[in-house]
Amino acid sequence: MKLLRYGTAGQERPALLDANHQIRDLSAIVTDIDGPMLGSGAIDRLRAIDPSTLPVVSGDVRIGPCVGRPGKFLCIGLNYHDHARETGAAIPEEPVLFAKATSALSGPNDPVIRPRGAQKLDWEVELAFVVGAECRYVDEAQAAAAIAGYFVCHDVSERAFQLERGGTWDKGKGCDSFGPIGPWLVTADEAHDILDRRMWLEVNGRRYQDGSTADMIFRPAFLLSYISQFMSLQPGDIVTTGTPAGVGLGQKPPVYLQPGDSVRLGIDGLGVQQQSVVEEG
């Protein structure tokens, strides 16, 4: 099942994508695709519904972030063998954990905003998942059962903020628009082969990233179990799991996004995002 949110930013409505790629409104059944909904067992109830009985959403509508109002937006760095090598970093012995501000969340086709003072705006296609149950000190099997679904995340980064301004990575990761997710959330039962999905990213039609989730160092269930040893996680929390090689920082010489650039990215079976880069107003 593919779940999504559509409409004006801040006023999105819940929906699902049917087998004919039509958006079907879910507003009469659930209030949103968010933590309370995911933690209530509503996904099981939605599976019993015949999508053809739901209203069709017609016209050109904005697709919003596929999860609304997450409590946490957590990220894993250097989690692909080839990306660690391209940055010159050692393969991590434990996951590298950092956070994005939840205010960075945006829709899959919303503009990427280059913030004031930015010099090195970079791209990263990533597999993300959403938590569907409370997790505290869970083992890997419990963590696997607590993952509600998967989706595409664009972990937009400002490398100068991240690496040259002191402190942690968070400065270069949490700017507004730096967290496009979606277009839809694919429920865990449908995303059964998630550990062998092709993932790619193009800038102005040139493909820079062309990898696979099979190159991941730490897998999603392990990551959720690991994080739960340090903090509790609640339904609706998002974890994005790292990027393959081909980021702008890794080019020789480095290549960074500029206003007017077009970025297109996707993961097989999870959908495609497309964004234009604009200057902060």
Residue 25 lies in a domain: no
Residue 37 lies in a domain: no
CA atoms within 13 A on the CB side of 17: 19
Residue 217 lies in a domain: yes
pLDDT digits (tens, 9 = 90+) for 41-63: 999 999 999 999 999 999 999 99
Residue 56 lies in a domain: no
Residue 89 lies in a domain: yes
Query: Measured in Å, how far apart are the chain's first and last C-alpha atoms?
Result: 38
State the residue range of the domain holding 270.
65-279
Residue 140 lies in a domain: yes
For residue 153, give the CATH number of its domain: 3.90.850.10
pLDDT of residue 193: 87
Residue 76 lies in a domain: yes
Q: Please give the Cα distance from 131 to 279 (Å, whole number).
A: 33
pLDDT tens series, the chain, 281 aa: 999 999 999 999 999 999 999 999 999 999 999 999 999 999 999 999 999 999 999 999 999 999 999 999 999 999 999 898 888 888 999 999 999 999 999 999 999 999 999 999 999 999 999 999 999 999 999 999 999 999 999 999 999 999 999 878 899 999 999 999 999 999 999 988 899 999 999 999 999 999 999 999 999 999 999 999 999 999 999 999 999 999 999 999 999 999 999 999 999 999 999 999 999 98
Residue 81 lies in a domain: yes
The count of structural domains within the chain is 1
